A and B are shown apart, each in its own frame.
Chain A
Amino acid sequence: MVLLQGRALAAERGWRLLFRDLSFELDAGGGLLLNGPNGSGKTTLIRLLAGLQPPLAGRLLWQDRPVDEDREGHRRRVAYVGHQPGIKPALTPGEQLAFEAGLQGVPAGRLAAAEARFHLTRFRDLPTALLSAGQRRRTALARLVLSEASLWLLDEPATSLDAEGEASLWALVEEHRAKGGLVVVASHGAVPLAGVARVDLAQFAPAVAPA
């Protein structure tokens, strides 16, 4: 069953057209891998799928229903981990995750599972400002364990992760897909996910006007 569908999507950033006529379909358990050179619009497409930004043209549909007709419902199905993952430097990972759990209304019992998954226990009580980039990334990804969202939007999720962290990340994504969840990953690196569709954003870049 097709859950998420993009039809002839176009987006701009700062008056510059990034891509146009981009269409895709994602089934339950499906995965979409976004490739493309820097500045081709991967992050913009991910923010557009999250409903944070409206498309310039085209439609985004969830079960054949336009997403902008039900923004409330859409944001409940989305979990987004971006370049700037919204981790407060003055809080510890433990406090950050406890806040997320409270915000999402998730039982606090899930916190231990989230911390164990990305091995946060060693640094859970240190202020995030003192953590390495990889440790911050782990904290941001641990939120996915708390989330009940069905559509995961991951923008370069493996940045600064070590091998063990990457393994945890992709295992978690595969578990999510096995349960029928959807994932969209923007990445330059290798993404070891089975059976994902690929979209190369460079193919949807607007034609350069003849000189």
Chain B
Amino acid sequence: MSAFLALSRRELLLLWRQRGEPLIALAFFLLAALVFAFGAGPDAALLQRIAPGVLWASALFAVVLSLERLFESDHAEGALDQLALSPISLPMVVAAKVLVHWLGSGFLLLLAAPLVALAYGLPWALWPTLLLTLLLGTPSLSLIGAVVAATALGARRGGVLIPLLALPLMLPVLILGVTAADAAAAGLADGAHLLLLGAALLFALPLSLVAAPAALRQALEAG
């Protein structure tokens, strides 16, 4: 446990020292949302209707953009070797890194989401549902992303490979998030959708903590 805390603390310190990277992901998120608005045109009713989808799609792109840094530098600098030889187990390494990755991606986007919601004129009644879907859904994105980032280690074009592999795997989370917001917009109960998002998270958590360490071990064995 103390090793987990030590690694989490190091990851947080690195996130702060290299804060340009999460800020770039954040800027990308806001810009992507803006691009969709220009693409859809000035129809206020249409903008309101597509706001949840735009938010989720932009969040997906921004998270995928931030995945390469998750393991790549640790692998290239030999820090992954040291972690593999230290008392901390690889699943715990993944857990600590995913947790801090989420703080620097999904959580950050959640904080910025109200800006986009305001710009799209999203009705106040939908805000709680939309923010809840992001809170429940974005950790799944980081967990799925960790598997993909670990798998792409050592691949010559890892940076290009990651979005290609990650986006299809993340689509179910996006669909659940957007349908929850749609249900709320139609005046229906959104509870079932939120529960499904929670279930997706509970599914992604053990899957990621088994698959990502296995992929890391592969990368270590390749040298």
Contact = CB atoms under 8 A, between A and B. Distances in A.
B168 interface: no
A88 B77 contact: yes
Nearest to A99: B10
A13 B223 contact: yes
Instruction: Classify chain A's interface size.
Output: 20 to 34
A105 B4 CA distance: 11
B9 A102 contact: yes
A84 B223 contact: no
B78 A105 contact: no
Interface stretch (A57-65, A73-81, A193-201): A73-81
A95 B6 CA distance: 11
Contact of B220 (A53, A87, A88): A53
Interface stretch (A24-32, A44-52, A111-119, A203-211): A44-52
Interface residues of B, number: 29
A3 to B, nearest CB: 18
Nearest to B75: A84
B10 A52 contact: no
Contact of B86 (A13, A51, A54, A104): A104
B3 A102 contact: yes
Contact of B78 (A76, A78, A82, A127): A82
B47 interface: no
19 contacts: A44-B223, A52-B84, A53-B220, A75-B85, A78-B85, A80-B82, A82-B81, A84-B81, A86-B74, A86-B81, A87-B77, A88-B77, A91-B13, A100-B82, A102-B3, A102-B9, A103-B3, A104-B86, A105-B2
Interface of B: 2-3, 5-7, 9-10, 13-14, 17-18, 73-74, 76-88, 220-221, 223
